Structure formats: structure tokens, C-alpha cells
A and B are shown apart, each in its own frame.
Chain A
Amino acid sequence: TQLLEQSPQFLSIQEGENLTVYCNSSSVFSSLQWYRQEPGEGPVLLVTVVTGGEVKKLKRLTFQFGDARKDSSLHITAAQPGDTGLYLCAGSKDAGNMLTFGGGTRLMVKP
């Protein structure tokens, strides 16, 4: 069982649709991050959230950190084929020594 559970594992949608990806845990995290990974590449950071209830926006992407700092969500508005990829949440429980990842959500946006 992973410390961070992501859902859904797979998502295939049409261009223009909205979607939400979830990252849940029973543990409290000092911070949560979202990464995106393209095939054959390492993950690249999208955003970091550190305060419970925090909401951050990155163009069509909206990230939220749960009030209790145990969960996070990523919402994409009007998805585009360029959003296709593997989305990973990652967190540090304490001062940040151990950075652990969720199982990932593989998103495919069809034109």
C-alpha cells in the first residue's frame, strides 16, 4: 500500500473536457507537489502546495491542498492533447527528508 493514493489511475477524455485527479493519504504532509512526466523523461515539477486549504492556479490547471494537509487535487479545465502525460503527486511527511510519490494518473486527451 502506497502512502499516497492517486485516483483515477487512468483517464481518457476528449479535448475540451474538464477533469479532476485526486491524491489522498491518511498521513499529514508538510507539503505536496505535483509533477508531470512525459514518456522517456524524468518528472518535472508543476506546483508545490504547503498551506492547508491553499489553492494555486497554473493557466488551466488548479491545484488544491486539503485543509488537514492529507490530500490534494488537480483540476484541468478544457483539457488539450498537450496535457497528455503521467501526473504524479509527491509529498514530504516531516521536515522533508523522504520524498514519496503516488502511483500516478495516466491522462490521455484525444483531439
Chain B
Amino acid sequence: NAGVTQTPKFRVLKTGQSMTLLCAQDMNHEYMYWYRQDPGMGLRLIHYSVGEGTTAKGEVPDGYNVSRLKKQNFLLGLESAAPSQTSVYFCASVPTGGAAEAFFGQGTRLTVV
């Protein structure tokens, strides 16, 4: 079972470049989330989606955009990368809201130079 798959796993960007991170889940989950995790820190919510075609801002949305055109995919875009966006990005999917378990991908390590 694939579960939650993130691509790419590693990426180095130059300041000002753009890129898209892809999160794909094969569990038919409704909710999907994008987080960033800085060294030694917890996870901060960037954007999330409660269903196909819907997105909402999290705690730290500035500098990022998202799209959920298909239920199984949640894309995170950086339009103009900045060094402050150097981080490890995690995607999670949840069957429904409330107390359901969140399933995480392996993470994408992004470095902006």
C-alpha cells in the first residue's frame, strides 16, 4: 500500500525560482494538509483542504498556494522561493475531520539558496 506519497523527496532552489510539491494519497481520504517543519521544531500548518475543489489557509500560508483539483492530489506551490522557506514539508491525509488519524508522507526536504 502506497498510502501518502510526496514528490520530490529533495530539492534545491535558487531564490526567486518557483516549484510545485505534489502529495498523492490512495486511501480516498477527504482531508489533506500541508505542513512545514523547521529543525528541532513541531509542524506548522500551511494550507489544508476538506475536499476536492476546496482549500483553506492554515497558520503560516504566506508565500504558498495550493490546489486540490482531484481528491487524491494536493499540490503546494511556491511562486517565488525565499531562503526562509528552507524547511522539510510534510503532507498528511485524514479520512474525515475530528479525531481520525492523520497519515503522513515521508517529507520533502527543500533548500532555497
Contact = CB atoms under 8 A, between A and B. Distances in A.
B62 interface: no
Nearest to A4: B42
A3 B59 CA distance: 10
A42 B107 contact: yes
A40 B40 contact: no
B74 interface: no
A50 B98 CA distance: 9
A25 interface: no
A95 B105 contact: no
Interface in A53-100: 88, 90, 92, 95-100
B43 A101 contact: yes
Given A95-B97, A98-B58, A43 B45 contact: no
Contacts of B58: 98, 100
B44 interface: yes
Given A97-B48, A101-B45, A42 B99 contact: no
A3 B101 CA distance: 20
A41 B107 CA distance: 7
Contacts of A48: 99, 101
Interface of B: 4, 31, 33, 35, 40-45, 48, 50, 56, 58-59, 90, 92, 94, 96-102, 104-107
28 contacts: A2-B42, A3-B59, A30-B98, A31-B98, A31-B99, A33-B102, A40-B106, A40-B107, A41-B107, A42-B90, A42-B104, A43-B43, A43-B104, A48-B101, A88-B42, A92-B97, A92-B99, A96-B31, A96-B94, A96-B98, A97-B31, A99-B31, A99-B33, A100-B58, A101-B43, A101-B45, A104-B41, A106-B40
